Structure 1
């Protein structure tokens, strides 16, 4: 029961604030005393008929030629896109080549170490490592 009283006491100030604020008008809101004709005139400046709105972005028909500026703009966009694409693929190929080179170097080093260990293990010091290095005698 005490919890219910606590919740109601917490909600009471919120209800009072909302009721007071609903009666107060903001300073930015107009009081509605302007003429109706002025409202309709301003709305005509903002809103256009549906037929004009649907054709707003269609400045030219499909078969009419493009303007030279449109061709230039499209060409610049295509050049920029192809340049970005070329740089991306070049960077990817460089990274791949570096990766391959590192792998080859690591593999060569491991192979050389294994060979060196094998030679050290099998060489007893009594004769040269390779038969073609033996002196003739």
Structure 2
């Protein structure tokens, strides 16, 4: 029973503190007497007259034609961006090709060395090494 009593007291103190705080007055619903003097009140800031609204949309709906200078400038920007992309991809492809070529060369060198070591190890002295045979033919 003591915990229910303590809970009740804490809820009561929170309720009193909230009701006495200054923020509680601003969150309260205004009375109907305040709305009689200015019926449009905050709605004036949100809504505009019909004529103003139609003029607003009429001005925004029509898009002015671009001049030839604007069209040319846009085309130059597009072409420059395409050229930068093309150069970037070409550079990337060249780097990859050179990397792949170096890897192939290293692999060829390793396989040549291992083949040479195998021939030296298995050479019995009876026949000349294969490299001499190839060079003589």
Q: TM-score, normalised by structure 1?
A: 0.54
Match of 1:16 in 2: 17
Give the superposed CA RMSD: 4.7
Out of 48-57 and 71-80, give the one that drifted further.
48-57
Instruction: Flag the structure with higher helix content.
Output: 2
1:86 and 2:90 correspond = no
The alpha carbon displacement at 1:97 in A equals 0.7
Aligned pairs for 1:40-55 (under 5 A) are 48-50=52-54, 52-53=56-57
The alpha carbon displacement at 1:102 in A equals 2.9
Mark the runs of 5 or more structure 1 residues left unpaired by the alignment.
Answer: 26-32
Match of 2:107 in 1: 107
The alpha carbon displacement at 1:78 in A equals 0.8
CA pair 98-132 structure 1, distance change in 2 beyond 3 A = closer
CA pair 75-119 structure 1, distance change in 2 beyond 3 A = same
Mark the runs of 5 or more structure 2 residues left unpaired by the alignment.
Answer: 28-36
